[in-house]
A and B are shown apart, each in its own frame.
Chain A
């Protein structure tokens, strides 16, 4: 419940996702605009910038989970990710993520022909 209360929803334009079919495999490429702060970096005033990073990322195909990822602070800023899934044209691909501050985002797309 605590998680629900502190949740802020990030606009879906903060990420891009695309899925192209080659044969029976969809290649899914995505990028999420996110600072991925480690908590070890200092700002111009010499103050530590608090950690702010995505911890959980999932990709679903027609509401079935295909990828579940756990991320630490070692994933680069504005995370980029590619994966491959058995799929058909017009299958729905959904990306969702949750960060250490309880912020979350979600975006979806349809599998298109390459």
Chain B
């Protein structure tokens, strides 16, 4: 019975959804432990980030002041060779880990995204390259709360 339900679901999916893209998503696991952390140091530890070194080879573009914390545009470029992962954190958010981006097959270590900021805080970027960690950060003043 369970098998029949499973096969029916699968058939429905094959009709409505490109199966290959779907299989890739299922293969990934969301890092719940790190995302639910309420302190930035806990999030960093749960991501297994250690000995991150401050680097000027990471370019973080974020506003000095954000009128609305609900939408703060952030741009990150890593000039560090073999950048594998860019991680974004906001120290004073209820859950500081915002996102992790993994690059492969010719993707440049560059992202633009829009984040929520609950209050004035440091935005921290961590880059993983060659198994080592590099970081930069910037303080963003938030004039109205973007979390809820």
Contact = CB atoms under 8 A, between A and B. Distances in A.
Q: A and B bound?
A: yes
Interface of A: 1, 3-5, 7, 9, 25, 38, 40-42, 55-56, 58-61, 63-77, 79-87, 94, 96-98, 104, 106, 108
A7 B28 CA distance: 16
Contacts, number: 151
Interface residues of B, number: 50
A79 B114 contact: yes
A70 B25 contact: no
Contacts of A68: 28, 101-102, 104
B64 to A, nearest CB: 19
B67 interface: no
B116 interface: yes
Contacts of B25: 56, 58, 96-98, 104
Given A64-B105, A97-B25, A5 B114 contact: no
A70 B35 contact: yes
B107 to A, nearest CB: 4
Contact of B108 (A4, A58, A83, A98): A83
B124 to A, nearest CB: 12
Q: Is chain A's interface secondary structure helix, strand, loop, or mixed overall?
A: strand
A83 B28 contact: no
30 contacts: A4-B13, A7-B9, A9-B16, A25-B108, A38-B147, A40-B94, A55-B30, A60-B21, A63-B20, A68-B101, A69-B99, A69-B102, A70-B35, A71-B98, A72-B95, A73-B116, A74-B96, A74-B98, A74-B147, A76-B70, A76-B146, A79-B114, A80-B113, A80-B114, A81-B112, A81-B113, A84-B110, A86-B106, A94-B18, A96-B22
A7 B93 CA distance: 30
Contact of B6 (A1, A9, A25, A97): A1
A72 B104 CA distance: 21
Interface in B1-46: 2, 5-6, 9-10, 13, 16-18, 20-22, 24-26, 28, 30-31, 35
